Homo-oligomer: A and B are copies of this chain.
Amino acid sequence: MTDDHRFELFSYWRTSATYRVRVALHAKGVKWRETNVDIDAGEQHGEAFRRVNPLGGIPALIDHAESQSHLPLTQSLAILEFLDEVYPHPPLLPADPHGRARVRSLAQMLAADTHPLITPRVRKYLAANAGFDADAWRAWQLQWFGTGLRAVEQRLAGEAGTGRFCHGDTPTIADICLASIFAVMRVFKIDVDDVPTCKRIVAECEQLEAFAAADPSRQAGAPQP
Binding site for B on A (CB under 8 A): 54-55, 63, 66, 68-69, 71, 73-75, 77-79, 81-82, 85-86, 97-98, 100-102, 104-105, 107-109, 111-113, 115-117, 121-122, 125-126, 129-132, 136, 139-140, 143, 147, 151, 154-155, 158-161
Contact = CB atoms under 8 A, between A and B. Distances in A.
Contacts of A154: 54-55
Given A112-B116, A113-B116, A136-B130, A78 B55 contact: no
Nearest to A74: B105
Contacts of A147: 121
Given A112-B116, A116-B117, A130-B136, A105 B73 contact: yes
A55 B155 contact: yes
Contacts of A115: 112
When all copies of this chain in the complex are counted, the total is 2
Contact of A79 (B101, B116, B132): B101
A26 to B, nearest CB: 19
Given A85-B97, A98-B63, A117-B122, A75 B132 contact: no
